[in-house]
Amino acid sequence: MSLEEIARTTRVAQRYLESLETDTYDGLPAPVFIRGFIRAYCQALGEPPHEALACYDAREGHEQRPVRPPPLSRAGAPEPHRRGAILVSFVLLVVLGMALFTVALVIQPRERGARSPGESPAPPPASPSSDLATSRPRAAQPPPTVPGPVAVTAPSAAPRGGGSAPPAGSAPSSAAASPAPPVLAAPAVVPGLETLAGSVSSPYRLTARVSDRTWIRVRTAGGANSEETVSAGEVREWVSERPFVVTIGNAGGVALELNGRALPPLGAKGTVVRRLVLPPQPR
């Protein structure tokens, strides 16, 4: 092989190879680089570099260092320790997993036993602080039945402080609950609502703007009921594919809007309006 070919193979400058061939070491770099050149030279020729490196060390007067790797027994001596460390780590992981599983089994029965056998979880209370409550229709439920004419009743003397009377049919809160207010002779339909029949289309959006504390119940499509006591200054909104059925405990404290159109007043302050259909159905 020519020096040019060896220089291309080893990526060592040709002048360095020529200096090695002629035993001229003045123009060569430090000995550590010369040893690297000799090793690359021998590898390019397919010869073991140990003998050439030993000759170079003897010529330079350096102490010959062992060029062969240490025996495999020495290199493999730490292997048992490594396997032992891996085995100990695996055992610790298994013990930790079993401990966590045991703790989980102990905690779960305690949580189940904290409840009495006959106790059932109480439903979450409705949040009256939200400014907007929207009820979505459920297509799988049958359409609600349309009630009869609206019955407007006068309030009793008890809720004079701005409260609202609960609708008829609701269970009294105690044995000393006030009797239901008497039904007064009033128009069966709120005047002015007949013009909405056929003028608004589904889906219907009902908005209630409360100016005085009142109780409101709204039934939407599918028979879903939404009822709560709303404070003054709050706004509620419902959406339904079918007409609403509304019951209000203080008609004078609520202003209703249907699809953005303001509805006429439902009655005086304290008047109870039961089962008002919005929009009214044509006869």
Give, as one character, the DSSP assignment of residue 152: E
Q: What are the C-alpha distances in Å from 202 to residues 44, 89, 144, 175, 240?
A: 89, 68, 15, 43, 8
pLDDT for position 143:
52
pLDDT for position 171:
44
The arithmetic mean of pLDDT across residues 118-131, rounded, is 50
State what percent of residues in the chain have pLDDT above 90.
17
Burial of 153 (0-12, 13-18, 19+ CB in 10 A): buried
**Continuous segment of H or E residues that includes residue 92:** helix 79-113
Fold of the domain spanning 151-161+188-278:
Immunoglobulin-like (2.60.40)
Q: Which tops the pLDDT comparison, 133 or 102?
A: 102
pLDDT for position 197:
66
Burial of 266 (0-12, 13-18, 19+ CB in 10 A): buried
Query: For residues 254 and 19, what is the distance between their CA atoms, to the nearest angstrom?
Result: 108
Give, as one character, the DSSP assignment of residue 157: S
Taking only the tens place, the pLDDT of each residue in 56-112 is 888 766 544 444 554 554 444 456 677 888 999 999 999 999 999 999 888 876 666
Following DSSP, what letter does each residue of 176-244 receive, concatenated?
TPPPPPPPP---SS-TT-GGGTTTS-SSEEEEEEESS-EEEEEE-GGG-EEEEEE-TT-EEEEEESS-E
pLDDT for position 207:
94
Does pLDDT of 55 surpass 60? yes
Q: What are the C-alpha distances in Å from 181 to residues 35, 129, 152, 216?
A: 113, 29, 11, 17
Query: For residues 253 and 33, what is the distance between their CA atoms, to the nearest angstrom?
Result: 99
CB 248 within 8 A of CB 214: yes
State what percent of residues in the chain have pLDDT above 70.
63
- From 167-176, 196-205, 267-276, the region with the lowest mean pLDDT: 167-176
Query: For residues 102 and 145, what is the distance between their CA atoms, to the nearest angstrom?
Result: 56
Strand-by-strand arrangement of the 214-219 sheet: 151-153, 272-278, 244-248, 214-219, 225-230
pLDDT bucket at 118, cuts 50 / 70 / 90: low
Residue type for 136, please? R
CB 150 within 8 A of CB 184: no
| Structure tokens that stand for 108 in this block | 């779960």
Domain ranges of the chain: 3-60, 151-161+188-278
Taking only the tens place, the pLDDT of each residue in 139-187 is 445 555 544 444 444 444 444 444 444 554 444 444 344 445 544 434 4
Taking only the tens place, the pLDDT of each residue in 8-42 is 888 888 888 888 888 887 888 888 888 898 899 89
Taking only the tens place, the pLDDT of each residue in 215-234 is 999 998 777 888 999 999 99
Q: Phi/psi class of residue 202: alpha, beta or left (left: φ > 0; alpha: ψ in -120 to 50)? A: beta
Q: Phi/psi class of residue 282: alpha, beta or left (left: φ > 0; alpha: ψ in -120 to 50)? A: beta
pLDDT bucket at 211, cuts 50 / 70 / 90: very high
Three-class secondary structure assignment of 20-68:
HHCCCCCCCCCHHHHHHHHHHHHHHHCCCCHHHHHHHHHHHCCCCCCCC
